[in-house]
Structure 1
């Protein structure tokens, strides 16, 4: 979309309109419940519409994946908010220091105003409706910028939000990179961005001009660490599912695997077997998703070929599909990469596709040192049954979130906060943490008519000195 288009030019006026509404009395419980019910209808009454829209955006997107990884978690988040909203909105009692008794204190959750949400292309439904659920539950209006790489999903969300919520509650913006840049520069009361670390830096810089607080859900290289001697059959089912879901185009997909050197061959054999079982003939398989566009497809092939040229062992698990058929369908099978040098792109950059580097280690401590020598990951996956060793890994690493003996599953637990750390993001949402992120948790102090604070008011005499000696101790 041309940034000079009517939609591009109307961004400030759209925001100003929502700000005027947000300045009125904050929406009550019934109104927020109505908004959440509208979000639920957007999911439940239009499942096939979403399947068709996402399919059109990707060229081939598994209908099962759209329902399982987008519609279901989005609806679960809405349902949780509907169940918990009354409790979230209730003022929270807080303690008061002994010296201020009998005063009382509370925290009063209030909406911030208007939230901005920037949505990536890889999960256009879940990553739009998830943040939107948090924002609306907290009583905010919202503007949502959809990715230019998912125009069909963006157009559908725009139509459905207008139908079920109205432009006075949510306005959906579609457009190109220039529109996204203009959107990030608007003076929102809070801005949530999901996307790459590189773009996240630009978004944060744009928001800083308005002192807009940001939540950044980024990515990075999320490791899967397999403890020595762990049963590979238990590992690989979830590893294949987590890496090949959406063809690896997932911010929390396992980016590389750390395996003990004595277990490497067993891992490789099981990966070959289970990848073929999960997605036979990936070129023609409707359950295996295509890479979003030719540019990303070419990038992944370029990174794969670069690793091979630098001496890595590359194995493409095509499972019966010819290279010509894969290229025509813009599909990339699970590709194992061993011994890739540290300076290769697959070892430096977030892969965002079904390339899987395998790294062998000799001691678990060395594997942990490798993880800690790199940027904090958005997710860490640990395969182990020994409680003491699990505790050592959890205490000895820092990551946005962890799943033990599985992949991805911590993200869809709505009562767990979701967010990164350092280059993988800042801030949290989902469940109560999302409600709190989009709320001003306003502290309120209630003074008692019997307050002792009057004793400290000027003019200061001997009584104040006596009290200070009691509170602090005598000056030595």
Structure 2
């Protein structure tokens, strides 16, 4: 096994990418057997090291729920890899077209792109590496990870494990700070996938454009929850907070704000308190509750609250009775509701990416739909309500990366559905066959008939052909 790429520096990056691309070309298209082998090795890496990986993530966060790491990072990654293994043989099949003309054959062949760069964020440092990798490997490509500098222990362990399970010409890892990430974005990959903020996504896309590298961007945004007047409010609260408390809200699809019928805020708060008491009777010493990843992210959540309070919002902490709302020492912060949120508050202008949840009232449901449409298109939108006509209107009249009705974030766990954003929340989608297609080139292949009849119409002289063409166009 070749593991020549270790401790890759910025200056070495271009050579590493070029060497991997050359190896891809010389080896020719990856066989089904090789694709399955790579997918299986990735699965084994996760299964055989799941405990060490969960411990590393926990250490990086200060406290990261072991269940959340095993379920969302390890388990979901394995699910993606297994789905690819089960279906890649079918995905690879050439698509035969009907004969364009007698004797002519036309088909679509799916060709690997080559070398794919994967910029991995800190919030799900395994899921958002291996879930796209499932499509990358299924399509017959090689890849390079750039994991986040905010989870250094996890990133270092990932690099070590990748070198044990893969030849460095198949899959390798580049470690480093933001300057390495910027240089990584500027490499001559055959495709680049980035998961992170919209602001950084702009820089990534700009850098990739210099080399005309196609990009997949998963950028998040402010994912709304619209609670209809006919919704079961208790159910809406419980399902919203189930995801809002998962990873302490540090999820690109986490509910970012809630649109409630006028007069429903007090009942929402009551149900929220009941839910939190049941789910987290204690919080600061509770291993099930995840810390914010670093001091800067913790301090930003506090700043969002202070800004909202200074502009007239009522802030309601859902911390257990007798516990503080947040503690800088543990970086644990209870879910905090911001009542009567207004658009001049930062919490309604920026993606929250934490446990702060603004509530905003509306009078008519159409008003709430109009509010969503007046803002950048989100990665996900959530609708609670049982009226089929209103559900249909939400689907038809709003545009988001995904829509979930009467639940939160469920779509991301369905491997056969595309996962991705639209507009400011991203471009391109992966998961399942959508990842295979994203990381493949659909090549048109045509075999001319022996008579070559279809091309004869292009051959001069054109006199008789012109008369026939004019007759056809005049009818």
Q: Which runs of 4+ in 1 moved over 6 A?
A: none
Match of 2:3 in 1: none
Report the CA distance shift for 1:469/1:325 in structure 2 as closer, same or farther (over 3 A): closer
Q: Residue deviations 1:61-118, cap 9 Å, x none? A: 0011011111111111101100100011111123454xx3442211100111110000
For the Cα contact (< 8 Å) 1:221–1:349, is it kept in 2? yes
For the Cα contact (< 8 Å) 1:310–1:340, is it kept in 2? no
Match of 1:312 in 2: 313
Match of 1:56 in 2: 59
For the Cα contact (< 8 Å) 2:8–2:175, is it kept in 1? no
For the Cα contact (< 8 Å) 2:265–2:339, is it kept in 1? no
Q: Residue deviations 1:319-344, cap 9 Å, x none? A: 13533873321111010001223121
Report the CA distance shift for 1:321/1:291 in structure 2 as closer, same or farther (over 3 A): farther
Secondary structure of the structure 1 residue equivalent to 2:281: coil
- The 2-side partners of 1:71 and 1:240 are apart by 23
Residue 27 of structure 1 and its aligned partner are, at CA, apart by 1.1
- The 2-side partners of 1:402 and 1:325 are apart by 32
Worse-matched range after superposition: 43-52 or 322-331: 322-331
For the Cα contact (< 8 Å) 1:455–1:463, is it kept in 2? no
Q: How many residues align?
A: 468
Residue 455 of structure 1 and its aligned partner are, at CA, apart by 4.0
Secondary structure of the structure 2 residue equivalent to 1:407: coil
CA RMSD, 1 decimal: 1.6
Match of 1:28 in 2: 31
- The 1-side partners of 2:51 and 2:251 are apart by 22
Report the CA distance shift for 1:448/1:321 in structure 2 as closer, same or farther (over 3 A): farther
Q: 1:87 aligns with which of 81, 87, 90?
A: 90
Secondary structure of the structure 1 residue equivalent to 2:327: helix
Secondary structure of the structure 1 residue equivalent to 2:237: helix
Worse-matched range after superposition: 437-446 or 227-236: 227-236
Report the CA distance shift for 1:122/1:405 in structure 2 as closer, same or farther (over 3 A): same
Residue 389 of structure 1 and its aligned partner are, at CA, apart by 1.2
- The 2-side partners of 1:403 and 1:451 are apart by 52
- The 2-side partners of 1:321 and 1:415 are apart by 45
For the Cα contact (< 8 Å) 2:326–2:334, is it kept in 1? no
Secondary structure of the structure 2 residue equivalent to 1:9: coil
Match of 2:226 in 1: 225
Q: TM-score, normalised by structure 2?
A: 0.95
Q: Residue deviations 1:243-299, cap 9 Å, x none? A: 111000000000000111143322221111102211222111100000001111011
Q: 1:69 aligns with which of 63, 67, 72?
A: 72
- The 2-side partners of 1:388 and 1:96 are apart by 43
Report the CA distance shift for 1:222/1:324 in structure 2 as closer, same or farther (over 3 A): closer
Match of 1:404 in 2: 405
Residue 450 of structure 1 and its aligned partner are, at CA, apart by 4.1
- The 1-side partners of 2:447 and 2:384 are apart by 51
- The 2-side partners of 1:458 and 1:423 are apart by 48
Q: Residue deviations 1:122-158, cap 9 Å, x none? A: 0001001111111111111111100000111111111
For the Cα contact (< 8 Å) 2:230–2:386, is it kept in 1? no
- The 1-side partners of 2:220 and 2:47 are apart by 29
- The 1-side partners of 2:415 and 2:325 are apart by 42
For the Cα contact (< 8 Å) 1:282–1:321, is it kept in 2? no
Match of 1:199 in 2: 200
Residue 402 of structure 1 and its aligned partner are, at CA, apart by 1.1
Report the CA distance shift for 1:266/1:96 in structure 2 as closer, same or farther (over 3 A): farther
Residue 276 in structure 1 maps to residue 315 in structure 2: no
Uncovered stretches (5+) of structure 1, i.e. residues with no partner: none
Report the CA distance shift for 1:466/1:245 in structure 2 as closer, same or farther (over 3 A): same
Residue 457 of structure 1 and its aligned partner are, at CA, apart by 3.8
- The 2-side partners of 1:95 and 1:279 are apart by 60
Q: Residue deviations 1:328-385, cap 9 Å, x none? A: 2111101000122312110100000010000111100000000000000000011121
Residue pairs, 1:121-132, within 5 angstroms: 121-132=122-133
Q: TM-score, normalised by structure 1?
A: 0.95
Residue 458 of structure 1 and its aligned partner are, at CA, apart by 2.4
For the Cα contact (< 8 Å) 1:62–1:288, is it kept in 2? yes
For the Cα contact (< 8 Å) 1:282–1:326, is it kept in 2? no
Report the CA distance shift for 1:207/1:180 in structure 2 as closer, same or farther (over 3 A): same
